[in-house]
Structure 1
Amino acid sequence: MSGASLDPRLLRKAPPRPLRFSWSDERFRNIVYQVLVVAAVLSVFGWLWSNTRYNLEVRRIATGWGFLSREAGLPIGEHLIDYDPSMTYFRALLVGVLNTLKVAIIGIVLATILGTLLGIARLSKNWMLARFAGAYVEIVRDLPLLLQLLFWYSLLQGLPGPRQAFNPVTGVFLSNRGLKLPYIQWESAHSWTLLAVVVGAVLTWFYRRTVRAKQMQDGQIRSIWPAALLLMVGLPLLVWAALGAPFTIDVPELRGFNFRGGLDVSPEFFALLLGLTLYTAGFIAEIVRAGILAVSQGQWEAAEALGLSRRRVMNLIVLPQAMRVIIPPMTSQFLNITKNSSLAVAIGYQDIVSIANTTLNQTGQAIEGIAIIMLVYLTISLSISLFMNWYNKRIALVER
């Protein structure tokens, strides 16, 4: 049969059969079923919409988005943008969105760092370190997040007052009023310096790609760190110095019964961030541990045979391969941090859920308020998923 050749007529694609309007035609039946399903779904949504409108009219409940332009009269303790109660509900809801993003972004960064360290620690040859990391993961993951948030908030509320505040480092105070930190007074020169850092990072990325392309062509290894140091450190320092080099540190000081100056971290935000970070880090630790164990032991043995230390083997060989296993489940944990931040209402932190609930209680716009909450979390979740999927494709193996 090896010398035989197939008839070219057998390789031709069969001509498509015409659609017959008969129940015996499978394609016709599939089209009918799909039309019926779509019609049923539209009918259910239409019935729900008409029923909702009827009930709202009977109860004389106003609908619409006009309330967003009305004065809120809602006090908000923490806000990243200017706000006072005389502003509109739209401004208040925007403050809530920014508060949610603040705790979600900082929580994602801190939980990723802590979870990665714990995951590596669980694989350590140090018996005590491995057992401590294992006990942390098991205990934290088995306790409900809400219980942990209430625990940390109660613990912070039980701290001494400002006059007896803990002062572990100069300028840092921890009391029942929250955490007080020194910070640099922000000026326009600092904004331009930050922009220079971003530009330097982008230029460093392009330079790295160019150097890697040349290395693939001639095999010669070139150092990237001198250019990276010049672009990401030298350029911002040059911009900062050219604009007058402002550098004024605002250190908190005890005046009367409270602190003045410095950066104020409220007990509500501190407890929420602490609870989200510690809780999610336990799950991220197991994801990192599983990703590292997915790399074959032969990779370790081959690298150690070349004389590489375990730290360099982990950084250069194991973790880059483990990331392909870590990224997909890590995305779910990032989404969980964002959605779990809605528990902030239990400890008094004013995020989008808290402010939207107050808004709908004051205005009676329940449907619009719930729709805003759903839209905010849907947008944030889809943004995180799109970014993580893009990054996952970037690090995926490309088959040749």
Structure 2
Amino acid sequence: MTQNQTNQAAANPVMTLLYDKTVRSIIYQILVFGGVFLMGWYLVNNTLTNLEQQDIATGFGFLEKEAAFGISESLIQYTPESSYGRALVVGVLNTLKVSITGIILATILGTFIGIGLVSKNWLLRFLGKTYIETFRNIPLLLQLFFWYSVVTNAFPSPRNALNPIDGVFLTNRGLYLPVPAENPVWTAVLIALVAGIAGFFLLRKWALKRLEATGEVFPYLSVGLGVIVAVPLLTWLVSGAPTELNTPELTGFNFSGGLNMSPEFFTLLLGLTVYTATYIAEIVRSGIQSVPKGQNEAATSLGLKPSWVMRLIILPQALRVIIPPMTNQYLNLTKNSSLAVAIGYPDLVSISNTTMNQTGQAVEAVVIFMSIYLSISLLISLFMNWYNKRMALVER
């Protein structure tokens, strides 16, 4: 600030504020926010005006109207007489089903491949690199087309279905499996299974604290798996041990009853898992290699088995490097599930497109599924950030 500017500022309090960096930064932010707000208001107002001129209704009242179209897969009861709102709920659940299952499978597959990439066995390293370079460099959409053509052409029609196990049928219309018939006992068994899984994590936490305090290893993995199996099994036995099954049966040109995994769901799940696992494998590899070699050498010198070294020493330290980029891959997998529309899987985007075409409510439909994808992504980010904080080193 020159001497002349200083004299002007002293004489005028407003000028004093304008020459203050903090005040100027606040003013700039207010101006930018006001500009963005005005632009948004203009776009919304212009859109509403154009829609009104073309006699196109606006609002979300269409969600209560009858959908009048069928959906091939649904986790909840749905008929063409259901509302558009219920149809969108079906789409959200189908998206969550394939996304959550894909995240779990891709994490497992990618972790094993990532460990194989740092293995001393050259064959494992070669197979891992070949897998990654092959599937990572082919666009996901092309992979979906490829897997879909394989699934729908490699297996016979329902009348000539493969029957490898009694009650199990494999056809070009999907995999059909027997499931337990409806019985209130299975609700109790499911609750027992959840309790068993919770018991496993509590046992693991206790075993790790015991290891840190005494150095003694407790076989929590085998004992915990036993708990997961034993608790539901005992609940089933005590409740009368029902064995009745709902078995698929050929009626006309297709099977009815049992559980069906459609070609569309299987193709989408396979494509997302195989593609995303390539990136997860590289993340796991880099995380493992970030751990100092001295950790591995020290653990080996103490006589620990290689599997114990990896599970108890290397991976826990590598997780602090793995978790942040892994979050991005989970988000990518969830968003990539929108490619389901290309192979006919009724996910959120597919059902939203049908709703949009039938109602003409294009803006509302796009806003709905964009908001849902944003919410799902934020929930994944929140969970992973929470988990990352739990795994972070606590400084003293």
Amino acid aligned to 2:319: M
2:114 to 114, 119, 123: 119
Aligned in 2, Cα 1:25/1:126: closer, same or farther, shift over 3 Å? Answer: closer
Q: What does 1:232-243 correspond to in 2, within 5 Å? A: 232-243=228-239
1:66 to 41, 51, 61: 61
Between 1:385-394 and 1:159-168, the stretch displaced more is 159-168
Aligned in 2, Cα 1:290/1:217: closer, same or farther, shift over 3 Å? Answer: closer
Between 1:113-122 and 1:155-164, the stretch displaced more is 155-164
Look up the match of 2:385.
389
Between 1:157-166 and 1:329-338, the stretch displaced more is 157-166
Aligned in 2, Cα 1:171/1:123: closer, same or farther, shift over 3 Å? Answer: farther
Q: Is the 8 A contact 2:265 2:345 kept in 1?
A: yes
For the residues of structure 2 that align with 1:158 and 1:33, how far apart are their CA atoms? 62
Residue 163 of structure 1: how far off its partner (Å): 3.5
Aligned in 2, Cα 1:126/1:166: closer, same or farther, shift over 3 Å? Answer: farther
Residue 48 of structure 1: how far off its partner (Å): 1.3
Secondary structure class of the residue paired with 2:255:
strand
Look up the match of 1:265.
261
1:97 to 84, 88, 92: 92
For the residues of structure 1 that align with 2:183 and 2:158, how far apart are their CA atoms? 29
Look up the match of 2:9.
none
For the residues of structure 1 that align with 2:246 and 2:42, how far apart are their CA atoms? 60
Look up the match of 1:7.
none
Between 1:41-50 and 1:251-260, the stretch displaced more is 251-260
Secondary structure class of the residue paired with 2:136:
helix
Q: What does 1:87-166 correspond to in 2, within 5 Å? A: 87-159=82-154, 160-166=156-162
Amino acid aligned to 2:50: N
Q: Is the 8 A contact 2:178 2:248 kept in 1?
A: yes
For the residues of structure 2 that align with 1:383 and 1:227, how far apart are their CA atoms? 32
Deviation per residue, 1:296-343 (Å, 9 max, x gap) = 111111111112222221111111111111111111111111100100
Look up the match of 2:277.
281
Look up the match of 1:12.
none
For the residues of structure 2 that align with 1:216 and 1:124, how far apart are their CA atoms? 27
Look up the match of 1:374.
370
Amino acid aligned to 2:393: L
Look up the match of 1:183.
179
1:57 to 24, 35, 52: 52
For the residues of structure 2 that align with 1:390 and 1:298, how far apart are their CA atoms? 30
5+ residue gaps, structure 1, are 1-17
Between 1:374-383 and 1:222-231, the stretch displaced more is 222-231
Look up the match of 1:8.
none
Deviation per residue, 1:229-268 (Å, 9 max, x gap) = 6854444333323322223333434455433433211111
Aligned in 2, Cα 1:292/1:141: closer, same or farther, shift over 3 Å? Answer: same
Asked whether 1:336 is paired with 2:317, we answer no
Q: Is the 8 A contact 1:19 1:27 kept in 2?
A: no
Secondary structure class of the residue paired with 1:340:
helix
Aligned in 2, Cα 1:272/1:319: closer, same or farther, shift over 3 Å? Answer: same
2:309 to 294, 313, 319: 313
Secondary structure class of the residue paired with 1:337:
helix
Asked whether 1:31 is paired with 2:26, we answer yes
Look up the match of 1:86.
81
Residue 277 of structure 1: how far off its partner (Å): 0.9
Secondary structure class of the residue paired with 1:142:
coil
Amino acid aligned to 2:145: L
Amino acid aligned to 1:146: L
Identity of aligned residues (%): 56
Look up the match of 1:174.
170
Secondary structure class of the residue paired with 1:264:
strand
Aligned in 2, Cα 1:116/1:214: closer, same or farther, shift over 3 Å? Answer: closer
Q: Is the 8 A contact 1:19 1:28 kept in 2?
A: no
Q: Is the 8 A contact 1:339 1:377 kept in 2?
A: yes
Secondary structure class of the residue paired with 1:158:
helix
Secondary structure class of the residue paired with 1:179:
strand
Q: Is the 8 A contact 2:103 2:333 kept in 1?
A: yes
Deviation per residue, 1:338-367 (Å, 9 max, x gap) = 100100101111111011111011111111
For the residues of structure 1 that align with 2:72 and 2:378, how far apart are their CA atoms? 29
Amino acid aligned to 2:282: E
Asked whether 1:299 is paired with 2:295, we answer yes
Q: Is the 8 A contact 2:204 2:221 kept in 1?
A: no
Between 1:376-385 and 1:47-56, the stretch displaced more is 47-56
TM-score, normalised relative to structure 2: 0.89
TM-score, normalised relative to structure 1: 0.88
For the residues of structure 2 that align with 1:225 and 1:127, how far apart are their CA atoms? 29
Aligned in 2, Cα 1:106/1:219: closer, same or farther, shift over 3 Å? Answer: closer
Between 1:242-251 and 1:217-226, the stretch displaced more is 217-226
Residue 195 of structure 1: how far off its partner (Å): 1.1
Look up the match of 2:244.
248
Residue 158 of structure 1: how far off its partner (Å): 1.2
Q: How many residues align?
A: 383
